[in-house]
Structure 1
Amino acid sequence: MSFPAVLQSEWTKIRTVASTVWTLASALVVTVGMSALLCMFLNSTFEDMPKEQQVTFDPTMASFAGMTLGQAAVIVFGVLVVGTEYSTGMIRTSLAAVPRRGSFLIGKLTAATALALVVGLLTSFVSFFVGQALLGEHSIALGEPNVLRAVVGAGLYMAVLALFSMGMTMILRSSMLALGVLLPFFFLVSPILSSVEATQKVADYFPNVAGGAIMQTVQTALDGKEPPYGPWGGFAIMVAWAVAAVVGGFLVLKNRDA
């Protein structure tokens, strides 16, 4: 089967499985909705914030506050794209149709990541414009320094997160197992380690923490310490995590029976 045919096949799988479509749609709704609520709250309470927080306030990042919950839907999307084939046994049929496992994997990852990128960019731009409208006089324009990079970066973040989730699911070969690893990692382990001074330096290099730097326009922390990397440096760390997961997934796919 030619590579364009593989891409078409994978696109058909994604759009015909309702759960994958709805998870991406929920990522958009949750991210925009939660961000809008927080921006309304920040606008009404800005004068009550400590002066240090007012000085370092990042209106762009405030527009992406809902990303914390929205990324859960992106993770689920990535897991389902790969895991559904294993849970239904469809993986055997897929590999019979595309014996070259590298082509099969690249086609699946390309189709799903491209879709996640489109939805991610739509989500980031809508979140930004809605959030800035609600921030009132504390808002920032898209043309201000680093703002466009942050908005585009938020969309890139969602795409790479989906890619990382797919790679991990390919390694684990199970939707339930992948969700049992990824969701606690992003929503429990990472926040806990980030909040403890002794482990904060380790957490700084986790994919969500490092990748989140690309969405920031204010890089200096409240304690005055400079972050260990810039926006693109942090994003590169996240990409490295995703590449490692994909390579691991390919090795498992190549060396184990379906």
Structure 2
Amino acid sequence: MAVTQVLRSEWTKIRSVASTVWTLSVAVVVTVALGMLIAALSKNEFDDMSARDKLSFDPTFISFAGMSLGQLAMIVFGVLVVSNEYSSGMIRSSLAAVPQRGLFLAGKLVVATGLALVVGLVTSFVAFFLGQAMLGEHRASIGDEGVLRAVIGGGLYMTLIALFSMGVAAMLRSPMLSLGILMPFFFLISSILGNVSATKKIGRFLPDQAGSKVMQVVVPVDDDTPYGPWGGLGIMVLWVLAALIGGYLVLKKRDA
């Protein structure tokens, strides 16, 4: 089957399923709205901050405060793109039409990644500009050092979250099982590991904590993280590659 036909087929599957479209919409709305809210609150509280907190004040990163919830919608999107066919039984027809399983998975990943990247970049830029509008005199400019990198990095972060979820879903094949693992992992476990002193050094190497480093412009005073913005994104990429390779191996070896 021609590559273009595979890509066209995957695009049709994604846009014809309402749940995938809605999850991307939710990712945009939640990320932007929560970022604006946190930015507005930060503006009102700035004068009451300690001198130490003011030194660590990062107006750019504050715009992405909604990313913690927006990424959950991207997780759902990534899981549904892959596992919808398993839950509906369509996977048998899909693999019959595209017996080369590597091509089948690659086509799905290319289309979903392209869509997630567009949505992620749009969300990141909109969240930044509206968040800075809420911050008023404390705002950052897109031309300031490190800001454009952080904004583009926000879009890449959202894309990688979706890709990681696709890899996990390809391994587990069940949407409920995939979401049952990914949601607590990113929303609870990662936060706990990153905030408890005994596990903090381990937590900083988890995909979300490492990847979010690319959205920071101002380094906190007490930050002793052993990698920079691009190093953190690189760690996240390694997690994504591991998940995708695992997903491919499972797809290749197991029956539909």
Same fold (TM over 0.5): yes
Quote the sequence identity (%): 61
8 Å Cα contact 2:170-2:250 kept in structure 1: yes
Supply the distance in 2 between the matched residues of 1:98 and 1:203 (Cα, whole angstroms): 40
Shift of 1:235: 0.2
| Deviation readout 1:231-250 (Å, 9 max, x if unpaired) | 00000000100000000000
User: What is residue 235 of structure 1 aligned with on the other side?
Assistant: 233
* 1:3 is the counterpart of 2:3: yes
Query: 1:247 maps to what in 2?
Result: 245
Deviation of 1:227 after TM superposition, in Å, equals 1.5
Q: Structure 2 stretches of 5 or more lacking a match? A: none
What count of residue pairs does the alignment treat as equivalent?
256
d(CA) in 2 for partners of 1:169 and 1:50? 44
AA at the equivalent of 1:246 = L
Q: CA-to-partner distance for each residue in 1:180-218, whole Å, 9 max, x for gaps?
A: 000010011101111111100100100000000000001
Inter-partner Cα distance in structure 1 for 2:149 and 2:68 = 19
**Alignment match, 1:151:** 151
Tell me by how many angstroms 1:56 deviates.
1.0
Q: After superposition, what is the alpha-carbon deviation per residue over 1:125-160, rounded to whole angstroms, capped at 9, x for unaligned?
A: 000000001100100100000000000000000111
2:227 alignment partner, SS class: coil
- Name the TM-score, length of structure 1 as normaliser: 0.98
Within 5 Å, give how 1:34-183 maps onto structure 2.
Answer: 34-183=34-183
CA distance in 1, matches of 2:221, 2:179: 33
Classify the secondary structure of the residue corresponding to 2:99: coil
Cα displacement (A) at 1:45 = 1.1
**Any gaps of 5 or more consecutive residues in structure 1?**
none
- SS in structure 1 at match of 2:69: helix
Match of 1:68, SS state, is helix
**Distance (whole Å) between structure 1 residues aligned to residue 52 and residue 91 of structure 2:** 54
- Rounded to whole Å, the distance in 1 between the matches of 2:196 and 2:211 is 19
Classify the secondary structure of the residue corresponding to 1:44. Answer: helix
Counterpart Cα distance in 1 of 2:215 and 2:119: 16
Equivalent residue of 2:141, what SS?
Answer: coil
Q: Is the 8 A contact 2:55 2:221 kept in 1?
A: no
Instruction: State the alpha-carbon separation in 2 of the partners of residues 174 and 50 from structure 1.
Output: 48
